[in-house]
Structure 1
């Protein structure tokens, strides 16, 4: 799981960015080691009984929609003939639907179309990148459906894959993503994706600016994944409990507040 690919990231994206040089070295390592990248849709289709996966499959994904995916990542992917999946937050992209609040320089829709034409799968990542599990049902439907409809309008075909912003989901969120028409979705989890996780909770491993090439090799081999992200797992589980508690508190407060009609 990648985010920004840039030489000079803003402070808001620095930790989750990679340099163009690091990305180039990482893709070369995949090629030299005989890995075969597939898209999210291809992975899910294979696990649903479609054509079998190639030997040493790997998923290369980008979240949010940063401009460096087009400027820096695309030429490297094209050099190796690697497919990938880009999950875009439609309200963050430059263009008619822009909502502001993007943490760094984003793609515009012309660039997204060029990425799609190059063979990159374009998936959904919500409209404004909220924590989906904290939203009301109405807000959740808007974020998921609006994102899917905009991508479909811009590319001429609706996306089939989704990635949860921040990796946060719940049974309600996963059900909504399914009902909105997405066939599969990705979390974070910092673990290898496996069929037992189900098509709406597939996990990924985070590649950070601090990820050296030797560590990257161990991660794609599946070695020391649990060890490298042990602290992340603990924090993620703890924060998930905290967020669920916050949402329950908000729901209780809303039920206890008097309606507008009853206020004198």
Structure 2
């Protein structure tokens, strides 16, 4: 069926000793290995973001029991710790890179922990990991004016294209924040699909530029992870997160309106 709800897992750092800035949204290498073992034991089929969107766009059937494994930002542990586990299971995944955070010629120095370099990104791509865009400097895109918004999207896409030889097809919104204006800009920049957060299962009806993900944290134990990948009690598990997100969305919209009117933020 093409309308089956799909769990899209959102990871960040995979590290034994993450920085304070990334700790809450990191997982240990041991936890990641256990979680991928759950995926394998449950008979789930990891697919990339582009593969999911292509099936939903064309009406083709998805593999049985699909799941997405996605990583945001571009932390070095994705190469060091996650890649061997993924390769051992033959799993596909998607990595969304903030190009100004990666080590190399475009590094702006903003990365909050040890980041990948471009050789490692190429190795990940060569191993079947889809490389998507995650902006250049990881701002809250919905708070940017049109020109810097387009610059963030375009620069990220151009750098990935230059480094890998092909343009990224998928995008993930930094912090999960978007708006109708941001989603339109992402589409017009050339990305074919984009992921938000939302902490819910992804569905075709959400549209290709607002697909939801579920957050995997350091506090996510094996039992909680199993509930996520099987779609059980997801709404209950993230009820508080969604309430906070909705409240903060109202605040961000108000800030954007005030900024557009030339008034200082609260």
With the length of structure 2 as denominator, give the TM-score of the two structures. Answer: 0.95
Q: Which runs of structure 2 are paired with 1:24-35 in the superposition (5 Å)?
A: 24-35=33-44
Q: Which residue of 1 aligns with 2:219?
A: 210
Find the structure with the greater CA-based Rg: 1
Q: Which residue of 2 aligns with 1:102?
A: 111
3-state SS of paired residue (1:244) = helix
Q: CA deviation at 1:35?
A: 0.2
Q: Which runs of structure 2 are paired with 1:17-28 in the superposition (5 Å)?
A: 17-28=26-37
Q: Which runs of structure 2 are paired with 1:162-177 in the superposition (5 Å)?
A: 162-177=171-186
Task: Tell me if 1:91 matches 2:91.
Answer: no
Q: Which runs of structure 2 are paired with 1:71-220 in the superposition (5 Å)?
A: 71-220=80-229
Question: How many residues were matched structurally?
Answer: 255
Give, in whole Å, the separation in 1 of the partners of 2:33 and 2:43.
16
1:18-59 Cα offsets, whole Å, 9 max, x none, are 000000000011001100000000000000115421110000
Give, in whole Å, the separation in 1 of the partners of 2:188 and 2:40.
37
Give, in whole Å, the separation in 2 of the partners of 1:38 and 1:109.
23
1:215-260 Cα offsets, whole Å, 9 max, x none, are 00011111111111000000000000100101111111169xxxxx
3-state SS of paired residue (1:18) = coil
**Aligned to 1:60, which of 53, 66, 69?**
69
**Aligned to 1:239, which of 248, 258, 265?**
248
Give, in whole Å, the separation in 1 of the partners of 2:104 and 2:135.
16
**Aligned to 2:79, which of 61, 65, 70?**
70
Q: Which residue of 1 aligns with 2:232?
A: 223
Give, in whole Å, the separation in 2 of the partners of 1:119 and 1:13.
26
3-state SS of paired residue (1:92) = coil
Task: Tell me if 1:40 matches 2:32.
Answer: no
3-state SS of paired residue (1:205) = strand
Give, in whole Å, the separation in 1 of the partners of 2:35 and 2:234.
17
With the length of structure 1 as denominator, give the TM-score of the two structures. Answer: 0.95
Where do 5+ consecutive residues of structure 2 fail to align?
1-9
3-state SS of paired residue (2:137) = coil
Runs of 4+ in 1 over 3 A off after TM superposition: none
Say what the alpha-carbon RMSD is for the aligned residues.
1.0
